[in-house]
Structure 1
Amino acid sequence: MPHSTAADVYDLRIVVIGAGTSPLKTTPRPTPRSLTTLSGMGGLGTALAFAKKGFKNISVYETASNLGFVGAGIQMPPNVMRVLDRLGVAPEIEAEATDVQATSIRQGSTNEELAHVSMPDIREKYGFPHLTGHRSNLAGSLYNGCLKEPAIKFHFGTSLVNITSFSPKPTLIFRSRAQEEEFIVECDILLSADGIKSLTRSHLLRASHNLTQTEEEDTGQAAYRIMLTREQLAPFPELIKLLNSNTVVRWVGERRHIIAYPVSNHNIYNISTAHPDTNFASATSATYTTKGSKSQMLSVFETFCPLVQDMLNLVPDGEVCEWKLRIHKPLPTWVHGSVALVGDACHATLPHLSQGAAMAIEDGAVLAEVVSEIPAEKIHDGETITKTLKVYELLRKPHCTALVDLATHSGRVLHLGEGKAKEERDKAFKENGKSGSVPDKWASPDVQKMIYANDCVKEARERFGELFASL
């Protein structure tokens, strides 16, 4: 821990909003807790990053009464594993994860392989592996890491109501299930990881730009998320072979695709889809999840091959859940006063690059790095804090915006219908990445190099002075 002085930047009171994870009922690892919220990795990662950097007073406010980690699979590419390693949680995560060695991109209707991109040297190239795992393992490892840090205090069952001041000291009004009256919290810096429907974002945009709406954008896409156990897959040798592999498989078709990979020590096969949104289209302000019907899910992919039909038919009736895939237009700012947004609150993305959680965790690591650069004599200077948070925005916003745009582009390419563009795409697929580029940008070596080689903490450390001076 850095040396303390009479005025110590590490004494700053840091408030983080949001620590929950996605409320998907699947096959979680054993836990006595339940879960009801939508934010998560960014909040936990931010709190842990500040504690690891030496900050002494970190309060995390979460709407859920407690944290029980369920959810679907998640990809953890080298860029986020680099951060997780710094946070001390990588070994726990890697113990249950799958080390991805290849991707197989297939025509959904025939199961014909369009491309097979080998990735055996990811760890060698970038210093860290590309893993697939259970969200419960990632979130639980971050939470366990937080519990080991005396600087971090969790306040469960507590919801943000209002922000009455943004600078120099953010003043927040909370409502707790443990007491009748609302209460006020003052802090030095507020970091909000409260997700796509961020209340903080609404208050921040209203205060900074007089915007009365959050500029959410309908992608026209929805997703089913499915987890099948080894026992369920046992009667199907071809599916067991996929479960035992270190390969990510993507079946593509017009306006829809399925991506699947093993998690939980190869005991669960995680399946996620992207397909046209019909259930949410007429109710964009409604909840972003709904119970779906199995027959409807099967009809969405009725033109896909028998292997896909076998997988989808294994989903028990009554356990079909569908998510609306939402993003928001690029925000005019992520920062106002001593308040900054983190993760989906400022750069929600489509899942086609598998960078959503990674970007959120990276955000927290960069914030901890830049805030630690505040001179001791300036820790109560609102202008210095604002400029420091603006450095975070300058570091992260161009990078995250580029990835959000690239994920959208990749989705369009994956979902092409019959025609010349699809023919050209499939021709490019057959090169298997030998040219350095693959139409599925998640599997494209040039894109992987751009994302996986990026060390966000190192960049923050090296560029802080230059960027701070430019403000």
Structure 2
Amino acid sequence: MAAGGSTNGASKSTNGPSTSQNLTVLIVGGGIGGLTAAIALRRDGHNVHVFEKSSLARETGAAFHLAPNANGILRRLGIFAETIGANRMNRLTEYTHTGEQERSIDLTEPNKQWQHPWHLAHRIDLHNKLKQAATDSAGSGRAELHTSSQVVAIDPATASITLENGIIFEGDVIIAADGVHSMCRRSIPGCDVEPFGSGKSAFRFLVPRKRAEEDTETKKFVQKEGELTIWYADDRRVVMYPTSDNTILNFVCIHPSEDTAEISGENWDQTGDIDLLLQVYSSFGSDVRKLLSKAESGSVKVWTLLDMDTIKCWTNERLALLGDAAHPFLPHQGQGAAVAIEDAAALAVVLSRIKTEEVPERLKLYEDIRMERATRIQDHSRLMGKDRRDQGKLDMVGFTNYNFGHDEYDHAMQRLREWRWNRMPNAYWRMPIAFGPMPGPRQTHEGLVRVSDQSTFTTASIKFKTSRTVLQNLFPPGRSGWRFKDPGTVAYASFSQTTLGKMEWLGGSGYHHIGLYVHGVEYEKSDGTVVQGTYLPLLFESLTDPIVSGREELGMPKLYTSVDIYRRSSSYRIRTGWQGALWGEFHLEGLSEMDPSTEKGSISGEADAGILAYRYIPKNGFTNKGVAAEENVVWDAFEDATTTPRPNKILKAAKASFKIEPLNWDELPTLHHVISRLAELPVYEIMGAKVVEGVGVPDVSTSRPIE
């Protein structure tokens, strides 16, 4: 992007919008959402310009929540909140306004279900870190921060903005991160709405923790690090939590707006009054009022909590709204900044690998990805902010799971994949469809029939902890009913390799297979009943015959790979490849024999109830590409198997590891799209590994459509 200007008025940029996949992005607003978007977009190679009306000499505001859903995105971008003084949220304690404790919840144990921490951060510290990361000269892309740059007009059709001084900037896309009073929002038809007072206002101020610790009456409230404390009356509350390495106490005191109508405003810098603060909370216990009185004179700010009608559209041609410009939040769940950060991640994903002519449609995809979730969290926040007497029974655990159990980057990436797949004309879909349309001249739906009670098996498996969202993206795309049993962002899977021998239907010979088994999956049938098992998104085999049979007859998602086994007295090593190109290595070391009766396990390496898979058969005929002849969920319950595996030897590994190398299209011309997805699986922890030997191989003839 180039910018032109003169002292006499407006002038046009000379170069205009770019035509390559590296876009010129104009971001209006340099708050947390806008700067996060700048960082994410420049990392993708785009050229970014951020226009902020203030001088950014100092950022207003105090502390706020960095919940796991936001922290995961920031950490992916190289921003670690603990390095800027943020402290973990360890405990929630609630009192009545007169001081009776209602509950105190230790959050350290529940937080283990989230892959990323829950932090309490100082807004100024995070904002400074984001500014630094956005404008750092190192790294890919380019980002420039224009301060004291008031945007007065925009043109969504040409992605151009006009500054107060008359200078015009042109780009490929405009991101409006200009807050609840967004000027840009007026450029979206039907969205020229104004925020309104919610009926509540809030005092906000900071107090050094040391002041509370030195007072015998208030030190009891600050004994535990990372503790968020709330005192409730029917129509008002005081919220206190620490920040800045537990050295500063952040206060948010929410009350009816009429109590401070004469001084409250819509900005964060409306100066309040300590005497008025204490008057508003005169019904609270003396120890709480003593705590409030420790605010420094002139430091208390008070502002009206704003709400806004839900708007039906966030985009117009090359313009997209982000954060409060699209969905202002009441502060009652601490998700306002988090959802803006999620918006930024989604925008960066949908604008990746893009042609400039695709921008309007990609922005519509962004809106489709984000609107439902943002609106739902808005509604949750409104419910949480009701007067306590009007709240009724709220599903706080459900709200938290919905808020925290989400990785927007991986979620948006999957939605972008599906958008790309849906744009492919007459795509020929083949199993396994979780990876999109399959390359190759032809494909059938196959399965494995193993009928031999005396066949032998040796199964080596490695179980690991990984991302639930990445695994979830391997569910059959666009098909409902699939979910994980547990709501956390972590999940468990196994790579399991089996060598089969003495197979009668193969003339006494055998073959190898290796698959990814996703544990803890549920499928809800149309009648509401739920089947639990292990989901098998794909199974590699080293021989054509079982691949063809298994896919056509049983619905198992099989592909070819070579499997080489290197076994020694205390180690077991597996290499997988295609035509000499090796894509996988799996190592089990320090094997020692265990009592077979102490272990249970199946083909997946775990004691599963059965295997869930997805059957898909393309309709025959060249003119029917992209049309399914048959598709259904497949269930193989091990209790129904005609042959039960009989382990006679089990060896546990002292150490195990694996490595997936995606290579490239030239090296893996038919498999690169699959292996590259497997390589995306993060390994948080190896949970165990073993080798099981035995007799009796089920023929999988019990697999059937689940409904």
Which category describes the TM-score, using the shorter chain as reference length?
0.7 to 0.9
Secondary structure of the corresponding residue to residue 120 of structure 1: coil
Secondary structure of the corresponding residue to residue 291 of structure 1: coil
Secondary structure of the corresponding residue to residue 258 of structure 2: coil
- Structure-2 separation of matches of 1:463 and 1:258: 40
Match of 2:325 in 1: 345
- Structure-1 separation of matches of 2:344 and 2:206: 29
Match of 2:690 in 1: none
Match of 1:43 in 2: 34
Question: Residue 187 in 1 paired to residue 175 in 2?
Answer: no
Higher relative contact order, chain-length normalized (CA < 8 Å, sep 6+): 1
Match of 1:220 in 2: 199
Distance 1:97 1:287, change over 3 A: closer
Matched AA of 2:177: A
- Structure-2 separation of matches of 1:362 and 1:290: 29
Aligned 8 A contact 1:102 1:116 in 2 = yes
Question: Residue 306 in 1 paired to residue 289 in 2?
Answer: no
- Structure-2 separation of matches of 1:76 and 1:138: 10
Match of 1:78 in 2: 68
- Structure-1 separation of matches of 2:208 and 2:337: 24
| Equivalent residues in 2 for 1:25-424, closer than 5 Å | 40-55=31-46, 57-90=47-80, 92-94=81-83, 96-108=85-97, 110-149=98-137, 151-163=142-154, 165-167=155-157, 169-175=158-164, 181-202=165-186, 204-205=187-188, 208-209=189-190, 213-237=192-216, 239-245=218-224, 246-278=226-258, 290-374=270-354, 379-381=355-357, 384-412=358-386, 415-417=387-389
Matched AA of 1:54: G
Partner residue of 1:14 out of 25, 28, 35: 25
Aligned 8 A contact 2:40 2:344 in 1 = yes
- Structure-1 separation of matches of 2:352 and 2:27: 16
Distance 1:171 1:285, change over 3 A: farther
| Deviation of the 1:65 alpha carbon | 2.0
- Structure-2 separation of matches of 1:328 and 1:468: 34
Secondary structure of the corresponding residue to residue 157 of structure 1: coil
Question: Residue 451 in 1 paired to residue 427 in 2?
Answer: no
Q: Output the TM-score relative to the length of structure 2.
A: 0.54
Distance 1:89 1:101, change over 3 A: same
Aligned 8 A contact 1:166 1:339 in 2 = yes
Distance 1:282 1:316, change over 3 A: closer
Structure 1 unmatched runs, 5+: 1-5, 20-39, 176-180, 426-438
Q: Output the TM-score relative to the length of structure 1.
A: 0.80
Aligned 8 A contact 2:94 2:102 in 1 = yes
Matched AA of 2:298: G
Secondary structure of the corresponding residue to residue 463 of structure 1: helix
Distance 1:299 1:470, change over 3 A: farther
Match of 1:28 in 2: none
- Structure-2 separation of matches of 1:335 and 1:282: 37
Aligned 8 A contact 1:230 1:240 in 2 = no
- Structure-2 separation of matches of 1:133 and 1:406: 22
Question: Which has the higher Rg, Structure 1 or Structure 2?
Answer: 2
Matched AA of 1:47: A
| Deviation of the 1:287 alpha carbon | 5.6
- Structure-2 separation of matches of 1:125 and 1:98: 18
| Deviation of the 1:69 alpha carbon | 3.6
Match of 1:429 in 2: none
Matched AA of 1:13: T
Distance 1:47 1:238, change over 3 A: farther
Matched AA of 2:25: I
1:202-232 C-alpha deviation (Å, 9 max, x unpaired) = 2x23xx23x6x42423201111111101342
- Structure-2 separation of matches of 1:280 and 1:149: 46
Kindly indicate which of the two structures has a greater share of residues assigned to strand: 2
Structure 2 unmatched runs, 5+: 1-17, 424-707
| Deviation of the 1:76 alpha carbon | 0.6
1:33-83 C-alpha deviation (Å, 9 max, x unpaired) = xxxxxxx1111111011112222x111111112342453111111000000
Identity %: 26
Matched AA of 2:382: T
Aligned 8 A contact 2:213 2:222 in 1 = no
| Deviation of the 1:388 alpha carbon | 0.3
Matched AA of 1:160: V
Kindly indicate which of the two structures has a greater share of residues assigned to helix: 1
- Does 315-324 or 247-256 show the bigger shift? 315-324
Aligned 8 A contact 2:263 2:270 in 1 = no
Distance 1:274 1:78, change over 3 A: same
Aligned 8 A contact 2:114 2:404 in 1 = yes
Aligned 8 A contact 2:19 2:356 in 1 = no
Matched AA of 1:79: N
- Structure-1 separation of matches of 2:62 and 2:265: 24
1:242-266 C-alpha deviation (Å, 9 max, x unpaired) = 3342211111111111111111111
Secondary structure of the corresponding residue to residue 143 of structure 1: helix
- Structure-2 separation of matches of 1:239 and 1:337: 55
Aligned 8 A contact 2:346 2:408 in 1 = yes
Matched AA of 2:96: Q
- Structure-2 separation of matches of 1:112 and 1:450: 30
Secondary structure of the corresponding residue to residue 228 of structure 1: strand
Secondary structure of the corresponding residue to residue 27 of structure 2: strand
- Structure-2 separation of matches of 1:115 and 1:66: 41
| Deviation of the 1:299 alpha carbon | 1.3
Secondary structure of the corresponding residue to residue 138 of structure 1: helix
Aligned 8 A contact 2:67 2:404 in 1 = yes
Q: CA RMSD in A?
A: 2.4
Aligned 8 A contact 1:80 1:361 in 2 = yes
- Structure-1 separation of matches of 2:174 and 2:299: 38
Secondary structure of the corresponding residue to residue 75 of structure 1: strand
| Deviation of the 1:284 alpha carbon | 10
| Deviation of the 1:102 alpha carbon | 1.6
Matched AA of 2:38: A
| Deviation of the 1:142 alpha carbon | 1.1
Secondary structure of the corresponding residue to residue 226 of structure 1: strand
